[in-house]
Amino acid sequence: MLRIGIFFGGQSREREIAFAGGRTVYDNLNKELFEPVPIFVDSLGNFILLEWQYIYKGTIRDFYPPASHQPKEFQIYIESLPDKDLSHTIGKKIQPSEFKQYFDVAFLALHGSQGEDGAIQGLLEWYDIPYTGCGILPSAIGVNKTVQADLLAQYGFKRPKFLTLTKKEYLQNFYKGDILEWLVAKIGLPMVIKAPNQGSSIGISILNEKDNHAFHELICKAFFIEEISGRKWKNFSREQKWAYITRLTDIREGIGFPLELRLIAQNLDGTRKELQNFGLIYHPETLWQKLDEILVENHYKAQMTSISSEESILIERYIIGKEFSCIVIEDENGEPLALPPTEILKKSDIFDYRAKYLPGISRKITPIDLPTEQIEAIRKECCRLFKAIQASVYARIDGFINALGEIYLNDPNTTSGMLPSSFFFHQAAEIGLNPSQFLTYIIRTSLAARAKTPKNNYAVKQFLEKLDSSIEKQHTHSTPKTRVAVIMGGYSSERHISVESGRNIYEKLASSGKYEPIPVFLTGNAQNHELYLLPINIMLKDNADDIAVQVQDTRHKTQDARHETQDIRHKI
């Protein structure tokens, strides 16, 4: 049995999603083949062998720092307490040189900087630890939207008009009043303003009209700069001040801590002068006290800049069309194979962090609602980009297709989100793989990819042979499993919650090795009960109402993908 070190959490703004995704991997690993070992990476870069009970906390801030170190007013991350080592309160801190004592293979569920930018991949290669997903080079490309834009243009992919803007250029030119006019002439409206090194749509906004005030706010958002005037702060009630600081503290929406605080005076002609730099502020309560102290004049402004701010941003023309996301994996021969792409239906112009991860704000339609030939064109183009960035194992590629059928790819991600409702599992289900099976395939393909490199490939090949032997044994000498019907859905207002609970139970049973869960969907009404056996791809639809529609019509446009992946299903 291979020991799988699941790396989750991390240092980036996406750490909460990486934490939740790691929990999904922990739950879904086939327990007959793998022993999951939770390696929590905190935001100071510590590697912690996490005690199991913390895996099921809602968010990182619910347990770390512990409640005894959380202030009364706010929930903070550990970086607000830089002088305190509290890792012992949640587990055992381990060093990279000790990794081999605890696990054989690293499963990377990390996102963003230090997670999918090649850094952790390089560290693991240094210590001869095989890991899942892409290697160093494609990871470095996949995390930088500016590099991606240049690469896509060089390889002949369709691209909207784009340019980069440095922080220095912006701060020098904005108050001259001509930079927005220049950008509109170059790019046009609407335009998308992107923080190039962030995932989960953090720091991304759309500007729809020429509005200098709105433009400045969106540019600051992408640079992770926050400003507030003395007039506004003084007019805030205590509750409004609390809400403002709370938002700043939340790395998903605010700039986070530590931050650099400056006091700025803004003159009537719009020019500015820096009055004082207060250095780094680590704690939200300290910031509140400081803002009360310094914002005494209406024309004063507090400028707060994240210590992990962007130095340049990407600005591009907004594309009108259907938005999609497509998982590309390697087949048994190392060739890219695109899974059925997912259409993203959202209530706002942008598929932002809230739309991605909060239920009910957007919907995922797999496969995308298009003619078969257009679906196949998307899959082909995604495979071409997979090769262009020299990806391996898997990647998630996002894009748009417009009314003319033109395909624009804009964001190859070398680590996909791994929540139960993610594209990663939705699309695998369309080819007949449940989450446990798909994770097994990803681990096996990762070992095969690492074995192709000359560094310590003998040990990696041994791990691969061991896994193949275990899979074969599971197929040929499997013990009878207890069949368990998991009934979910219903017709009450709680039917969507029932589906979430049912899927959770299904996944845990499917990975246990002792049970064969059979998903059953209940629908109808109080007078007429209807029960349906659920295929895995229908079970993973967005909600109970989507399942109710789909369960009576299982026709889909993914026959080509299912045919191309039949060898994968037989292997695991």
> Does 495 map to a domain?
yes
Identify which has the larger pLDDT, 247 or 115.
247
pLDDT confidence band for 558 (50 / 70 / 90): low
Query: Are 302 and 327 members of one domain?
Result: no
Comparing 18-27, 92-101, 558-567, the range with the smallest average pLDDT is 558-567
Share of the chain above pLDDT 90, in %: 65
Of 142, 166, 193, the one marking the end of a domain is: 142
Supply the pLDDT for residue 382: 97
CATH number of the domain to which 419 belongs: 3.30.470.20
> In the predicted model, is pLDDT for residue 5 greater than 80?
yes
Q: How confident is the model at residue 520 (pLDDT cuts 50, 70, 90)?
A: very high
* Higher-pLDDT residue of 500, 351: 500
Q: Tell me, yes or no, whether 356 and 411 share the same domain.
A: yes
- Whole-number mean pLDDT of the chain? 89
pLDDT at residue 560 tops 70: no
Confidence of residue 553 (pLDDT cuts 50, 70, 90): low
Looking at the structure, do residues 421 and 494 belong to the same domain, yes or no?
Answer: no
In terms of domains, do 55 and 16 share one?
yes
Residue 188 included in any domain: no
Highest-confidence range of 47-51, 157-161, 212-216, 252-256, by mean pLDDT?
Answer: 47-51
Looking at 401, 435, 451, the residue that finishes a domain is 451
For residue 137, being part of any structural domain is answered with yes
pLDDT digits (tens, 9 = 90+) for 466-478: 999 999 988 887 7
The verdict on 258 and 328 lying in the same domain is: no
| pLDDT the model gives residue 318 | 93
> Does any domain span residue 133?
yes
Instruction: Report the distance separating Cα 277 and Cα 295, nearest Å.
Output: 14
Kindly tell me if the per-residue pLDDT of 351 is higher than 50.
no
Half-sphere exposure of residue 390, counting CA atoms within 13 Å on the CB side? 8
**Gap between the Cα atoms of 447 and 475, Å rounded:** 20
CB 16 within 8 A of CB 58: no
Identify whether residues 340 and 296 lie together within a single domain.
no
Tell whether the model's pLDDT for residue 203 goes beyond 90. Answer: no
- The total number of structural domains in the chain stands at 4
Q: Which tens digit of pLDDT belongs to each residue from 307-331?
A: 988 888 989 999 999 999 999 999 9
In a domain, 119, yes or no: yes
- 296 falls within a domain: yes
Q: What pLDDT is stored for residue 474 in this prediction?
A: 86
Q: Mind listing the pLDDT tens digit for each residue in 470-499?
A: 999 888 877 889 999 999 999 999 999 999
Looking up residue 508, the CATH number of its domain turns out to be: 3.40.50.20
* pLDDT at residue 412, as a whole number: 86
Q: Are residues 434 and 501 in the same domain?
A: no
SS3 content of the chain, % helix, strand, coil (to 5): 40, 25, 35
Check if the beta carbon of residue 396 is closer than 8 Å to that of residue 416. yes
The token pair at 237 is 């009630």
pLDDT value for 357: 46
Which residues, listed in sequence order, are joined to residue 34 by a DSSP beta bridge? 2
Question: Is residue 291 predicted with pLDDT exceeding 80?
Answer: yes
Per the DSSP assignment, residues forming a β-bridge with 302 are 228, 263
Q: What is the mean pLDDT of residues 421-427?
A: 88
Is residue 397 domain-resident?
A: yes
Instruction: Say if residue 422 is in the same domain as residue 491.
Output: no
If asked whether residues 397 and 513 sit together in one domain, one would say no
Same domain for 409 and 523? Answer: no
Query: Could you tell me if 404 and 504 lie in one domain?
Result: no
Predicted local confidence at residue 353, as pLDDT:
47
pLDDT tens digits, residue range 130-177? Answer: 999 999 999 988 888 788 888 888 899 998 888 888 888 787 766 556
**Of 282, 307, 332, which residue constitutes the final position of a domain?**
307
**How would you classify residue 463: left for phi > 0, otherwise alpha for psi between -120 and 50, otherwise beta?**
alpha
Over 70: is that where the pLDDT of 200 sits? no
For residue 389, tell me if it sits in a domain: yes
pLDDT bucket at 361, cuts 50 / 70 / 90: low
- Residues 20-24 have a mean pLDDT of 95
Say what the pLDDT of residue 541 is: 87
Per residue in 409-419, pLDDT tens? 987 888 888 98
Q: Are residues 380 and 501 in the same domain?
A: no
Per-residue pLDDT, 571 = 64
Q: Structural domain of residue 494, as residue ranges?
A: 482-550
Residue 436: how many CB atoms within 10 A of its CB? 24
